[in-house]
Every structure is written in structure tokens, then in C-alpha cells.
Chains A and B, each alone.
Chain A
């Protein structure tokens, strides 16, 4: 990785304009063989756009790309793959109805006599999944797995043998510590084989753990590239957001749980066969309850069962003192409960609809179809949320799928908040949200809770759970194994419970 060697890939003077947005202006990026290069910046800074240009998914307006010193022109992702540039995009692009094995061999199939050699394909798929220590059924449709597993499958798929450059756009956004470590092992191995790796993330710990150099973008412009070891964390944050970060989470003091309000929901023996074993859970007004557990432990299922997105087959659920039968999302919404799903692309947003329409959708559904919110009212609500969550967009009437990943996540959150819930259920709420916005969202939610909103958060990030929760329910293997509250809520305690049961 000496500076004298030829860069593996070099992008210079890259400029990209979208209608109303200068996504990139004259950006340079240079990556050497055997280096892990972190690409950082706020939501909407242009990271994904830059790597889409590097991998042929988007044409550049200006600028050049060189691979091993040779100028290259990429017209499609297939071109890039042929040259050895493999990518895992931010929004998982697997085909949900296709099996894991087929998805993994979609881009390049081993053939024999011109026909696809399925046995070889399956072996290859199994080998790659094993590298990530992932043991799943190759024949099951990929869409039936959680978003985290889908992300791992997408990563495994990118581990081509001829890879020279591997680009990972927020690969760890929904992974927990174990899977992240497995991924980092693979990355270190690739690195030792001289592969250049681009790594985008909002987890700064991970940046320092794995990367050699850091490039920061802000508002589509290059702030600079530095050695990771020469750039202290606070300076890095300052480069990213252009100001100092107030330590929001540090200011939070754990509150005593006695002065809380009435229970908003009480679940008794609620469960669903083969999905989650019966559990008890109650949440009182103003309280924050966390759901902690490893991947596949049943966090999402617990949240969905309470919201009515999954049917329960045992136990009772009481909301605001009323026993609920035939629970459904619609009913829950009518009882002032809102839910943010973890998978924003498949379950969260309606991509073609505008930001405004996506934000008001739940509130409108709550009001019913006859009472249409006036345009002015919609505009006011959307504008309020765009300001409160700092959603970066020139125009609220843009289709929501043109937003950057983190900003899309904020829209999902905005929709739930606009419906004015008494209980807010969040599943991986800060997936892909940058450090600055993360702090602001935590503060906002804290404020709402102090005004009496109850909150149920499921997250793979233990630190986030610990930082916000008054009480934590710990899950393992589709089963609730215990509850901790107050001073007991620490990272170590939760890890201990998961490990021992």
C-alpha cells in the first residue's frame, strides 16, 4: 500500500448532477491494492452515487476512471464485473422469490456443455456462504429470510474469484456483532490477497477497526482523504458534518420507572407457533422498552405480533385496557400504534410515490379514504417532518426512491411520527442513518417519550438499545429469555444473558 505503487482504481474529477441536486462535484478517489478504504459522509453526501459510478450502475457526467492505470469506460455493471469490480449495493438487490442458490449464481453461472451446471453452482454458493459462516437452506426463496441474512447472501455473492475491487455499501447496517466479525474476517483475508476494498458505513467503530484510509464527502464535495490512524474520531465527525457533534446520548440520564403512566399494551402468553414462543410484555406510557437478541432471535417477530402484522395463535393482547381480537395493522393504527419495519424497500416505502405522499400515508389511512388531507395540510406535515428529521431533498414531491438510503429511512420514521402514535414500534430504526442525524433522532424520540409516548425498539445494535431503553426484553432462538430494567440495562448484562440463557 505504498504511495509509489499504481492505484488499483482511481477516480478523478467525478461530477454527477441529478435534477435539482449536485450529487457529486469534482470528486477524486484513489484506492490501492490490499487496502480497506472507508468512504464516509452524512446521509445524501454522495457516497452511494460515487460507488454506483465506480461500478457502472450510473454513468458519470464528467471525470475519469482508471483501473490499474488503464482508463476504463463502464457502460453497465456487467462491464464492471468482467473487469473484476464486485459490488454489494446499499439496497439489497436480490430477487425475493428466487432460491438462495439461484440468486447467488444469477450474475455468472458455471456451465457445462453450454448448460448451467446446477451442482457446481450449488457447491460454489455453499462454499461462499461458509466463508461468512452462514448455514442456510439454499433452496428456500431468499425473500423468506430476514434482511440481515439477505445482506449476507448479497455479500457472499460478490465474492467472485477474479475480484480486484470489492465495494460494500453499508454492508453491516443490519448485522449484529457476530456477523460483522465474520464479515471482517473475510475482508482481512481478501485484503491480504491484494484486493482493494471500499467500505461505506455509519458505524465509526467499524471504520477504525478495519480501514486503512478514510475519504470523507460532504454535500457532494470531497473533504479529504487521510490515514485512519492519523484522523481522530472527533475530527472525523467534524469533517463529516461540518461542525461539532453535541453528545446527545451522553446527556441522557436514566429515569426512574415509577412515575410512568398507564400500560398502553399488555401481552400475556402472546405467541405464534414456529415463529415466536409465547411471551409476556407490557409497555407503559412514556416508557422505552428494548428488544435485544441476535439475528433470528425473534425481535422482528415480537414487534410484528404486537402490531398485528403477524397473526397470533395463543395468548391475549390488551391495548389501552381493551382486549384485542383479530389484530391487524389497520386496527393497531386506529388505536394509535405506529410501526416502522426494518426493511424499508420491501415493507416500508412505496418507491414511486412522492416523499410527501409516503409521509402522510399512515395518517391518511387512519383518517379513512373519505377525509382526504388537504394539499396544504399534507405540505405542512411533510415540511415539518423534513425539517425535524433533516431529510435532505430539494423538493417533497420527488419520488421517494430518489432519496439516499439514510434519508429514505428517515421518511419511514416520519410516516410513523406523523400519525401521532401513543405507542411507537421501531424495528431497526436507525439503519443507515448518519451520526449527526442519529443523535437528533434519539433526542426527538426522547422528547416524545417525555410527553407520554411509549416506545418499543428492536435493534441489532446493543449500544443503541442500552442508550435509549428503560427496560429490555432479551430474546434467543424465538423465545423471550428474560427482562432487565434500570441499572441492570448494560451491554455486558445483555450479552451475558444471550450467551447463558
Chain B
């Protein structure tokens, strides 16, 4: 009897634990994939690089994951950055332009990241200094960013600018030993950000500002600077994703590159347990969120369902994960079962 009770209370505690449902969801998707696609778990070595569906999910999820990490930091301050997709587009245009001008590719890498930072600076200025609401402030760059990218292309007459760059493409589609480089980049971004957030007091300050700005200010935290830095981080992350995505197609295509990536990034943060009300940053869970989103897309592709189903299925699964995370919804389901029993 008593073991029964402890088991059920343990289960309930586990159900309330933040990481439980996203991890279960990811596992479930992988298991279903194993059934619908024989050889899903196979990992082969082709041309000195690991290949396979699982690797592919990680590979494709990386840009979103990197953008989502920056988004998680911004959301932690109770903000949001809608402009990340446009930042990717601008970075791509800058890369193509400078390659056209014949700069050193190493310098171009830093120029692209600098462009991301600059965009972050702009957003941070609007939000932290001018006190414009984040959703409006970042909407400005979201709407104009792709246009800026096109202007950069036109500026030197690049109507359909494509380029070759061993360095940048190496970072995007290349591999080191057996591992795709972008996985290494993603892990690097994660570790760097984790140290910045958890091994300095920045994380605490961001969470304090996001949780209660006036209290944080009165406690001596420079809320303005903290919010500013969050948008810088998001801009830099979008810049890194910009390098990977642009080098992947080796063209600058501002109109369609990274379309809706801001929505996927926000979704990844929320699936990972972050709240848009701010005040908490979960880096690890955000990456899990990005993996869930990509795993879903991949599963629909390999299942042979028409790709039109993609968005609908994605919406249903996401809704499900979010419902499971909600204490209220869980209680309601629990209540339904106990009502049936009695």
C-alpha cells in the first residue's frame, strides 16, 4: 500500500518536473520514427562524415537552436526578438557583398558576426534606452531587415549573388573528423553562453530584471544595461546562424532565408519550459525544444505524409507538450480519471 502511495507521489513529482515532458516528447518522436522508417537509427560514415536520420535532425536543428539560445536570453528579460530572421538575411547579404569585394574570408566571418551584434545593438537601443516595447521595437527590424538585405545585394549589382568560400562553407556543411562542423559550433555556442549566464552573475541579473524590473533596479542591478546585453547576445547568435545558413546555400537570398525562424526559436524556448512572462532562462531545455521541432519536421518527411501536413501536425504536437507542462491541464486530466474511477 505505502509503496503504492510513494510511487504515485513520485510520479506526480516527476510529472511536475520541468525537463520531463519535453524529453519524453523527444523520445516518443524518435521511437515513432523508428517504427515508420526502418533504418532510422542507422549511422553510416560517408565521405569521412557521419550520416543518418538522427544525425540529420541534429544537423538541421542547429541554426534554429543557436537562434533559440539567444532568444531564451531575451525572453528571460521579459522581452522578445522578432528580428532574428531578418538579422540572418542581413548577415547573408553582407557576406555575399564582401566576398564579391574580395575581402579575406576570415575578416568576413567577423564582419558577419559584427553585423549581428550591430543589429542587436539597434534592438537593445530601442528597447533599453528608448523604452519601446520589445515586440514593437524588434518588429521594426523584422519588417525592414529583409529589405535591407536586398538593398545590400543591389548596391553592388548582385542580383542573384552566389559565392564560394572554403572557410564559411567549412563551418556550415563541413566536418571535423567525423562530426559535422555546425554541431561543434552549436555546442561551442551553448557552452560559451552557459558560462556567460551561469558562471557569471549575468544570468541572475537577467532573471531578476525579467522577474521584477523595479525590484532589480532598487537592488542595484543596472536593468538597462542588462536588457541591452540580452539583445546583443540574441543578435550575435542570429549572426552565427546567419553564417551557417548563408554558407549552406552559398547565396544571399534575403527574401526566403530563415523564414519564420523567429517563431521556431520562440517555440523552442517555450517548449523548453521558458515563460514569455520572463524571469527564467533554461538553455539546455531550449536546445531540446529546437530538436523537438526539427524531429517533427523530419518525421513528417520520412513518413511520406504530404508536406502540407507538416505545420498542422507540428501544431498539434506542440500544443500537446505545452498542455502537459501546464499544472492546471494535468490536474484537469487527473481529475477526469479519478471521476471515472469513482
A contact residues vs B (CB 8 Å cutoff): 307, 309, 329-330, 332-334, 339, 341, 346-353, 357, 361-362, 364-373, 415, 419
Q: A353-B279, A369-B200 are in contact. List 11 more A-B contacts (CB 8 A).
A: A309-B217, A309-B218, A332-B220, A350-B211, A350-B279, A352-B207, A352-B280, A353-B207, A361-B220, A367-B201, A368-B201
Select from chain A the residue with minimum beta-carbon distance to B206: A369
**Max chain A CB contacts within 10 Å: which of B204, B212, B215, B218?**
B218
Closest CB of chain B to A492's CB: distance in Å?
35
- Determine if B208 and A350 form an interchain contact, defined as CB atoms under 8 angstroms apart: yes
Q: B226 — nearest CB in chain A belongs to which residue?
A: A369
Contacts of B219 in A (CB 8 A): 329, 333, 361-362, 365, 415
Contacts of A362 in B (CB 8 A): 219-220
C-alpha gap A346/B216 in the complex (Å)? 10
Determine how close the nearest CB of chain B comes to the CB of A77; give it in whole angstroms: 15
Contact B218 A346 (CB under 8 A): no
B185 at the interface (CB under 8 A from A): no
B215 touches A347 (CB 8 A): yes
What 9 A-B pairs come out closest when comparing CB atoms? A333-B220, A365-B220, A350-B211, A369-B201, A352-B279, A350-B212, A372-B201, A362-B219, A361-B219
Our pick among A307, A330, A351, A415 for the contact of B212 (Cβ within 8 Å) is A351
B-side contacts of A364, CB under 8 Å: 201, 204-205
Report A144 CB to chain B, min CB distance, Å: 13
Query: In the bound complex, do residue A372 and residue B220 qualify as a contact, i.e. CB atoms below 8 Å apart?
Result: no
A348 to B208, CA, bound (A): 11
By a CB distance below 8 angstroms, the chain B residues around A347 are 212, 214-215, 218
On whether the beta carbons of B212 and A361 are closer than 8 Å, the reply is: no
Q: Are B218 and A329 in contact (CB under 8 A)?
A: yes
Complex interface: chain B residues within 8 A of A367 (CB): 201
Chain B residues lying within 8 Å of A339, measured Cβ to Cβ, are 218
Interchain CB contact (< 8 A) of B208 among A309, A341, A353, A366: A353
Chain A residues within 8 Å of B214, by CB: 346-347
Is B215 a contact of A349 with CB atoms below 8 Å? yes
Instruction: Decide: A350 and B201 in contact? CB cutoff 8 A.
Output: no
Q: Which of B199-240 contact A (CB under 8 A)?
A: 199-202, 204-205, 207-208, 211-212, 214-222
In whole angstroms, how far apart are the Cα atoms of A170 and B211 in the complex? 25
Pairwise interchain contact B199-A372, C-beta atoms closer than 8 A? yes
State the CA gap A369–B219 with chains docked (Å).
14
Docked pose: A357 CA to B210 CA in angstroms: 14
CB closest chain-A residue, reference B279: A352
When chains A and B are docked, how far (Å) is the Cα of A352 from the Cα of B201? 17
Q: Output the least CB separation between A27 and chain B (Å).
A: 23
Mark B residues whose CB is within 8 Å of A.
199-202, 204-205, 207-208, 211-212, 214-222, 279-280
State the Cβ distance, A301 to closest chain B Cβ, in Å: 14
Closest to B275 in A: A352
Residue of A nearest to B16 (CB): A19
CB distance from B201 to the nearest CB of A (A): 4
Central interface residue in B211, B222, B279, by most chain A CB within 10 Å: B211
C-alpha gap A75/B330 in the complex (Å): 17
B214 to chain A, nearest CB (A): 5
A selection of 23 A-B contacts at a CB cut-off of 8 Å is: A329-B218, A330-B221, A332-B220, A333-B219, A341-B215, A341-B218, A347-B212, A347-B218, A349-B215, A350-B207, A351-B211, A352-B280, A353-B207, A353-B211, A357-B204, A357-B208, A361-B216, A361-B220, A364-B201, A367-B201, A371-B201, A373-B201, A415-B219
Q: Roughly how many angstroms separate A346 CA and B218 CA in the complex, as a whole number?
A: 11
Interface centre among B215, B222, B279 (most CB of A within 10 A): B215
* A419–B212 alpha-carbon span in the complex (Å): 20
CB-based contact B280/A350 at 8 Å: no
Q: How far, in Å, is A102 (CB) from chain B's closest CB? A: 22
Establish whether residues B200 and A350, one from each chain, have CB atoms under 8 Å apart when the complex forms: no
Contact B205 A365, beta carbon cutoff 8 Å: yes
B222 and A330 within 8 A (CB)? yes
B279→A365 contact, CB < 8 A = no
| Residues from chain A with Cβ under 8 Å of B280 in the complex | 352
Q: A369 contacts B202, CB within 8 Å? A: yes
Assembled-state Cα–Cα distance A309/B223 (Å): 13
Q: For A339, give the chain B residue with the smallest CB separation.
A: B218
Residue from the list A348, A349, A366, A370 in contact with B200, Cβ < 8 A: A370
Q: Which chain B residues border A361 with CB–CB below 8 Å?
A: 204, 208, 216, 219-221
Neighbour of B221 across the interface among A332, A334, A365, CB < 8 A: A365
In the complex the two chains form, what is the Cα distance from A364 to B202 in whole Å? 10
Interface centre among A365, A368, A371, A419 (most CB of B within 10 A): A365
State whether B215 touches A350 (Cβ < 8 A). yes
* Chain A nearest Cβ from B165, distance in angstroms: 36
Give bound CA distance, A353 to B219, whole Å. Answer: 14
Judge whether A366 and B201 touch: CB under 8 Å: no
Q: How far is the CA of A361 from the CA of B219 in the complex (A)?
A: 7
What's the least CB distance linking A381 to chain B, in Å? 14
- Across-interface contacts of B221 in A (CB, < 8 A): 330, 361, 365
**Chain B residues within an 8 Å CB radius of A307:** 218
- Across the interface, name the chain A residue whose C-beta is closest to B213: A350
| Closest Cβ–Cβ distance, residue B204 to chain A (whole Å) | 6
Tell me, rounded to whole Å, the shortest Cβ–Cβ distance linking B117 to chain A.
Answer: 18
- What is the distance, in angstroms, from A326's C-beta to the closest C-beta of chain B? 13
In the assembled complex, the CB of A404 is this many whole angstroms from the nearest CB of chain B, namely 19
Q: Which chain A residues lie closer than 8 Å to B220 at the CB level?
A: 329-330, 332-334, 361-362, 365-366, 419
Residues of A within 8 A of B216 (CB): 350, 361
- Report the Cα distance A364→B219, complex, angstroms: 10
Q: Which residues of A contact B205 (CB under 8 A)?
A: 364-365, 369
CB distance from A253 to the nearest CB of B (A): 34
Q: How far is the CB of A416 from chain B (nearest CB, A)?
A: 9
State the CA gap A301–B204 with chains docked (Å).
29
Give the distance in Å from the alpha carbon of A346 to the alpha carbon of B214 in the complex.
Answer: 7
B209 to chain A, nearest CB (A): 9
Residues in A with CB closer than 8 Å to B199 are 372
A399 nearest CB across to chain B (Å): 10
Tell me the minimal C-beta distance from B213 to chain A in angstroms.
9
Instruction: Write out the residue numbers on chain B whose beta carbons fall within 8 Å of the beta carbon of A334.
Output: 220
Q: How far is the CB of A337 from chain B (nearest CB, A)?
A: 10
B217: chain A residues at CB < 8 Å are 309, 329
Which chain A residues lie closer than 8 Å to B208 at the CB level? Answer: 350, 353, 357, 361
**How many Å lie between the Cα of A369 and that of B201 in the bound state?**
5
Give A76 to B204 CA distance when docked, in angstroms.
35
* CB proximity of B202 to chain A, nearest CB, Å: 5
